[in-house]
Amino acid sequence: MIRLTNPDKPLYPAAVHVTKQRLVDYWRRVAPFALPHIAGRPLSLLRCPNGAAQDCFFQRHHRRGLPPGLRAAPIGTEEFLVIDDLSGLEGAAQMDALELHIRGAHIGALERPDRLVFDLDPDPSVSFEEVKRAARDFRALLEAAGLASFALLTGGKGMHVVAPIDAALGWPTFTGFAKGVATRLAADDPARFTAMATKARRVGRIYIDYRRNERGASAVAPFSPRARETPAVATPVSWEELGRIERADCYCLDKIERRLAALRADPWSGYFDLRQGVSPAALRMFAGAGL
């Protein structure tokens, strides 16, 4: 169990009861749910020494003097951060890390990605109902490619659609497939979607960020808090319950703990047991899939 410095420090301006100690308590409660998604993957930590409202910065490299639960993982000539257990989550909180972002491959198989993720990022004029509709459209498109997917509320204003993948493809083909899926949906309904990051193209649309599937990219981890005004949490939800959810930031630290205690079934049931890959037919289905 880690010894915290300044455990009573408030971390959120709109939720002063959420202190560093409260963050550690949160990780201790949700670790059994969060660690299977986080452990063994290179991490980027969003550190906020002065709280969520100001001067946050990303750290993904290991350095001397970090809490012992954060270990160094060599990638080429660099050393990246990896955690394996609760001590790593506690260590991240000691470093004032409010967000944990994970890469799409495990440290032992860095050239074989196993997590496909699409970030649906809406323009401020787009309602959350439209975001939910977009997530369902993405689900259907992935099903056409033979892939089951799962819904994640980002804790911001959008959603992620996530599909676990057998670690069989190299990064160029994997990224090409992700681009092909995103550009297909954008081409089929350009009034609603864009796969281009240009700000002018995003006005009134949902930006499909497929670049989360590039080799060095990362995405917010399930159950990670967000560095916003309030301590919203990136929350896995089932497709069935999505219809009654009104906001992407509806679950905060307090609510997520009550949610987990009340759930009768895992909203991502079967995620870690699913064995699925991108077939040659699916690669051919989408232009730009690296073939």
Per-residue pLDDT of the chain (291 residues), as tens digits, is: 788 999 999 999 889 899 999 999 999 999 999 999 999 999 999 999 999 978 899 999 999 889 989 999 998 899 999 999 999 999 999 999 999 999 999 999 999 999 999 999 999 999 999 999 999 999 999 999 999 999 999 999 999 999 999 999 999 999 999 999 999 999 999 999 999 988 888 899 999 999 999 999 999 999 999 999 889 999 999 999 999 999 999 999 999 989 998 988 899 999 999 999 999 999 998 865 444
Q: What's the first-to-final CA gap in the chain, in angstroms?
A: 50
**pTM (two decimals):** 0.95
Q: For residue 32, what are its two tokens?
A: 């059994």
Q: Which of 56, 4, 2 is nearest to 31 (CA)?
A: 2
Helices (H), the chain: 20-38, 86-94, 128-144, 171-188, 199-202, 253-262, 280-285
- For 47, which DSSP code? E
Q: How far is CA 136 from CA 61, 140, 148, 162, in A?
A: 36, 6, 12, 12
User: What local confidence, expressed as pLDDT, does residue 68 receive?
Assistant: 86
**Which residues lie closer than 8 Å to 96 by C-beta, 6 or more apart?**
11, 20, 47, 48, 49
Question: How many Å apart are CA 135 and CA 186, to the nearest integer?
Answer: 13
Question: How many Å apart are CA 291 and CA 288, to the nearest integer?
Answer: 7
Query: Kind of pairing, strands 78-83 and 150-153?
Result: unpaired
Q: For residue 132, what are its two tokens?
A: 């939910």
User: What local confidence, expressed as pLDDT, does residue 288 receive?
Assistant: 55
Environment class of 201 (CB within 10 Å of its CB; exposed 0-12, middle 13-18, buried 19+): middle
Count of Cβ atoms closer than 10 Å to residue 32 Cβ:
10
**Chain centre distance of CA 145:** 22
Residue whose entry in the numeric block shows the structure tokens 């689900």: 139
Q: Which of 196, 186, 192 is nearest to 206 (CA)?
A: 192
Q: For residue 224, what are its two tokens?
A: 């990670």
